[in-house]
Homo-oligomer: A and B are copies of this chain.
Amino acid sequence: MKITCSKQKLSEGINIVSKIVPTNTTMQLLQCILIRAENGEIRFTANDMEIGIETVIEGTIETAGMVAVDAKKFSELIRILPDDDITIETDRDFILNFSCASFRSNPTLVGVNGDDYTFLPDPDRIEEVAVSMYGFKDVISKIMFSVGSGDINKTLSGANVVIKGDQLRMKTLDGHRVSIRNMKLKESYSDVDVIIPAKTLNEINRILPAETEKDIRISFCESHAIFEFEKTVVVSSLIDGQFIDVERMITKDYDTKVKINRKRLMDCIVRSMFYSKEGNKKPIVINISDNELELTIRSSDGGLEEVIEIEKEGKDIRIGFNPRFVFEALRVIEDEDVELYFVNSRSPLYIRDEAENYIYMILPINLNE
């Protein structure tokens, strides 16, 4: 194999595929990127057997061929080469020889025969959906904070993606809270209801450009999802099983409705988090009376009492929360004012907008314990 690519294109390609490469595996090939130069295209592939990524990089092929190379070492070596066109040539022993015009040097890197590398699966596609790149990134980045660990229930370690007509709804759930985001698609599709692993969605969020005018194409298969955008394909296995019926938990009934400035409340919660460490798990106590929300917290380090002006509808209420859970929901909302819905001090808080583009549900902490 002999190919020439700019350092920048090599780096971009490595960056797209290499983050999923497992570092703690005894299988040498799994730690590798596969470089394939054939049919006029140079492809980088990484595959951890749950998720595989393939991307085409710009460059010229002098001799077709294929070689696998340790992802970490390849990435490191490319990083220290000059910002120039780089020619990579392999010999019979799969040693990669790097050269470029700007200096008399020829760094080498020991590669591996790529013949046994596992290519990406290519399952039958049941439904293909087009989603705005920007919109998909936006939804992912606003629900992933509440994904579960999956230790007890494997289905919670992913996000539930439901498509009904032209509506895409994504949900995560971690035992203390539920995050839901809705998004309108340009067309209507047949029903989809799958669980996509958190790792896959986080990778896609990382490598997907935030383009508002372009779409990512998502194909749903029997047990895989295939994501295609620009010159990259991501194939991910789906999580088997039924996601917890979140819809049953969501209620529109409330006894107290509060309208509050989001930034003001978030700043106050950031201050309260100073007193609530992993060790002490101190709750914030929220006291809502007419026109005022009073937030207090006490710990062995000191405490805080803060008062914020609100618009209130319904009953007074006193309720406790883990401040981090409220903070993480408020942080991903962009509205200037948010609406908080309460039933009673043992029922969840709902933060949702009128159009229900977002619903964040947070369980309270029992203050009488």
Contact = CB atoms under 8 A, between A and B. Distances in A.
B108 A304 contact: yes
Contacts of A76: 274
A105 B302 contact: no
A77 interface: yes
Given A103-B306, A104-B307, A302-B95, A80 B274 contact: yes
A304 B105 contact: yes
B302 A81 contact: no
A274 B108 CA distance: 11
A306 B306 CA distance: 65
Contacts of A318: none
A270 interface: yes
Contacts of A307: 104-105
Contact of A106 (B82, B109, B301, B304): B304
A81 B274 CA distance: 11
Contact of A77 (B104, B268, B274, B300): B274
Interface in A32-78: 73, 76-77
A176 interface: no
A271 interface: yes
Given A105-B271, A274-B80, A110 B73 contact: no
Nearest to A82: B267
A97 to B, nearest CB: 9
A279 interface: no
B306 A104 contact: yes
Interface string A77-109: 100111000000000000110000001111111
Nearest to A294: B104
Interface in A234-290: 267-268, 270-271, 274
Contacts of A306: 103-105
B268 A110 contact: no
Contacts of A302: 95-96, 107-110
Contacts of A314: none
A81 B302 CA distance: 15
Nearest to A106: B305
Given A105-B306, A307-B104, A110 B300 contact: yes
A102 to B, nearest CB: 10
25 contacts: A73-B274, A73-B301, A76-B274, A77-B274, A80-B274, A95-B302, A96-B302, A104-B306, A104-B307, A105-B271, A105-B304, A105-B305, A105-B306, A105-B307, A106-B304, A106-B305, A107-B271, A107-B302, A107-B304, A108-B302, A108-B303, A108-B304, A109-B301, A110-B300, A110-B301
Interface of A: 73, 76-77, 80-82, 95-96, 103-110, 267-268, 270-271, 274, 300-307
